[in-house]
Amino acid sequence: MSTYTTIKRLLPKGRCLILSGPFLWLLVFFLMPFIFVAKISVAEAELSIPPYTAMFDWIDGVLGIRVSINNFLWVLDDPLYVQAYLNSIKMAFFSTLFCLLLGYPMAYAIAKAPKEQQTVWLLLVLLPSWTSFLIRVYAWVGLLKNNGLINGLLMWLGIIDDPIQMINTNFAVYVGIVYSYLPFMVLPLYANLVKHDNALLEAAADLGAGHFTRLFRITLPLSINGIVAGSMLVFIPVVGEYVIPELLGGTETIMIGKVLWQEFFNNRDWPVASALALIMVFILIIPITLFHRFQNKEANL
């Protein structure tokens, strides 16, 4: 038997062995917690430890199963929860749009920079991420508050007479989200743009196409996979964001992450909170599917 035949026979076993690690990891740290949350979501709140009813009970030798969909009906019927979902999707959409408008020129400039400079520019994009996420968000509190650095500078320059209310507003939440998630937009765009064939742009220039024509007719269509991948990397986590709305947003900034926290820890209504989490997962299935689809396309380029 030749060595090639031996390797060919052992390859499927080796592949299964290699893939078993990630699958086991997902099973333990994603699927099992998801099953626990789903189990709690069909229970009822109760003053006990844990604060919900058991799904299975054994009475007089009879196994009973208690499943309730009242939590899902309550969530979908309550205007507060519906508004929280709508606000989360709206803020995630506009935050993604702002990140795209800022991130695309940055990624394009990095991709067109000389090779020896690209690593430096990418390092500058990633450098803030080396600091704790919580510390970076707290820094914006000091910048945006009424007696903070930005208001102090504007008043010192004579541009304003009274402080501008920036903290505890949706504006502050947008600033914090765009600042925190901008690298997630820049990196996929750069990875796409750096692989473009410059010969296409040179041919278009020889045919008389201007800079903006080349950008919108060649570069932009070719970078659609990077745009979708970057947008999904921003949109998906922002929908469930908790820290930024809690620290920078006001009482009117209602996002599903804050509502989840309140239901779990303030109201101790774990079944309703679990139902909220499951509905959010179902809402994100579509963008997650799109992300994986375009990620596969990007990998095949």
What's the pLDDT at 5?
Answer: 55
pLDDT band at 211 (very low <50, low <70, confident <90, very high): confident
With tokens 């901008």, the residue in question is 182
Q: Check if the beta carbon of residue 276 is closer than 8 Å to that of residue 169.
A: no
User: For residue 7, what pLDDT is reported?
Assistant: 47
**pLDDT one-digit tens code per residue, 123-166:** 999 888 888 888 999 999 989 998 889 999 999 998 888 889 99
> Residues, the chain, total?
301
Instruction: Please list, in sequence order, all residues whose beta carbon lies within 8 angstroms of the beta carbon of residue 269, skipping any fewer than 6 positions away.
Output: 45, 51, 263
Confidence of residue 100 (pLDDT cuts 50, 70, 90): very high
In the chain, where the domains are located: 72-300
**pLDDT grade for 32, boundaries at 50, 70 and 90:** confident
pLDDT in tens, 165-201: 999 999 999 999 999 999 999 999 999 899 888 888 7
CA dihedral of 23, 29, 35, 36, whole degrees rounded to 10 = 160
**Is the domain 72-300 a CATH 2.40.50.90 member?**
no
Of 14-28, 92-106, 207-221, 223-237, which gets the smallest average pLDDT? Answer: 14-28
Count other Cβ atoms within 10 Å, centred on residue 179.
17
Q: Determine contact, residues 98/186, Cβ cutoff 8 Å.
A: no
286 pLDDT higher than 90: no
